[in-house]
Amino acid sequence: MKLVISDAHEGLKAAIRRVFSASWQRCRVHWMRNALSYVAKTQQNMVAAALRQAFIQPDRAQASQTLRHVADQLRQKWPKLAAFIDDSETDVLSHLDFPEQHRTRLHSTNPLERLNKEVKRRADVVGIFPNEPSIVRLRSQRSGWPSGVSGGEDPRINGAGSW
């Protein structure tokens, strides 16, 4: 396992470092929610648009530069937001160290949360699975990852995959 994506819970971060020896990525969706909590509702669309500029950059260096520029632009009006951006920059950009084709799936836990919700919904209907391959088929069907990835395993669920 090379990357773990989660919220910024200190206990989780410590466990990830100790148990997995993996890189850590702060969920970008949750990071954005946290960032926008420093701003009045009427200003959130503008600030969100500015912050999203960092996430459309092609590499980590440009994304980091853009995020620092945005923080500097917002610093006078929202110093706590700027400090939050400064403190969490490396946490939210870790996914940019991985191949470009994987980045859209690595920046957030939301796809995994959605997958788990869908599997739970279908499992509640089925009630019991006759064998393990039937579970894997259900999981692969909704995950969006090709079933041939590392023996059919979804890398977001159990860390399998060649990254």
Q: In the 8-state DSSP scheme, what is residue 20?
A: I
Would you state the structure tokens that stand for residue 10, as one six-digit string? Answer: 């200190």
- Give residue 77's pLDDT: 96
Q: Could you tell me if residue 121 is left (phi over 0), alpha (psi between -120 and 50 degrees) or otherwise beta?
A: alpha
Question: Cβ(28)–Cβ(34) under 8 Å?
Answer: no
List the beta bridge partners of residue 4. Answer: 24
Q: Taking Cα atoms as reference points, which of 63, 17, 139 lies closest to residue 3?
A: 17
Domain residue limits, the chain:
33-106, 110-158
- Give residue 85's pLDDT: 96
Q: How big is the chain by its Cα radius of gyration, in Å?
A: 18
Band (pLDDT 50/70/90 cuts) for residue 20 is: confident
Residue 114 has pLDDT above 50, yes or no: yes
